Amino acid sequence: MSDDQDIRVEREEDDPHAAQNTLSRYALRIEALAELLDEKGIVSGQEIEDSMHRMERSTPSNGAAIVARAWTDPAFKTRLINDPLSVLDEMEIRLEHDPGLTILENTPDLHHVVVCTLCSCYPGVCSAARRTGTSPSRIAKGSS
């Protein structure tokens, strides 16, 4: 069986009539891993769901909103440079870990270049792009 073939499984706990559901081989692996993590007390099913929802809400437009506001609101820009994690918290943007975030300001003599591959920051956007053949930036903007 190839990796992209579907496996028919019966899931009585999800369907009292034991109807067959089609899950991909990868979906079955992910489900088994999530159940094992929950059983071992490493991470709960709810924590996994919460993390997935955070990733789905994380798009490049979050960063664009921060930059646009910093350009138009000098007080916000000052707070962002001095305490970026607090500002992100105020905007309800949560980071999974402390990346040691530093905000740098361009000047007439010094310009910073940021290169982002999107894949680690916006996994939902990138997987949707691969699935649909659409560019990640178009998906992040909500267009197709």
Q: Is 34 exposed, middle or buried (0-12, 13-18, 19+ CB in 10 A)?
A: middle
Q: Is 44 a catalytic residue?
A: no
- Cβ atoms within 10 Å, residue 59: 21
Residues 105-134 pLDDT 10s = 889 999 988 776 655 555 555 555 666 666
In order of 18, 105, 111, 112, the CA distances from 108 in angstroms are 67, 10, 7, 11
Task: Tell me the percentage of the chain whose pLDDT exceeds 70.
Answer: 61
* Amino acid letter for position 8: R
Select from 96, 138, 118, 54 the least CA-distant residue to 126: 118
Q: Is 126 a catalytic residue?
A: no
Residue 93 has pLDDT above 70, yes or no: yes
pLDDT-derived band at 144, boundaries 50, 70, 90: very low
**One of 44, 86, 116, 135 is an active-site residue; which one?**
116
According to the model, what pLDDT value does residue 71 have?
Answer: 92
Tell me 22's DSSP state.
E
- Cβ atoms within 10 Å, residue 116: 10
| Average pLDDT in the chain | 74
Residue 74 has pLDDT above 90, yes or no: yes
**C-alpha of 119 from chain center:** 9
Q: Is 116 a catalytic residue?
A: yes
According to the model, what pLDDT value does residue 62 have?
Answer: 82
Between 91 and 97, the higher pLDDT residue: 91
**One of 61, 121, 126, 137 is an active-site residue; which one?**
121
Residues 1-40 pLDDT 10s = 444 444 555 455 555 544 445 678 888 888 888 899 889 9
Q: Is 89 helix (H, G, I), strand (E, B) or coil?
A: helix
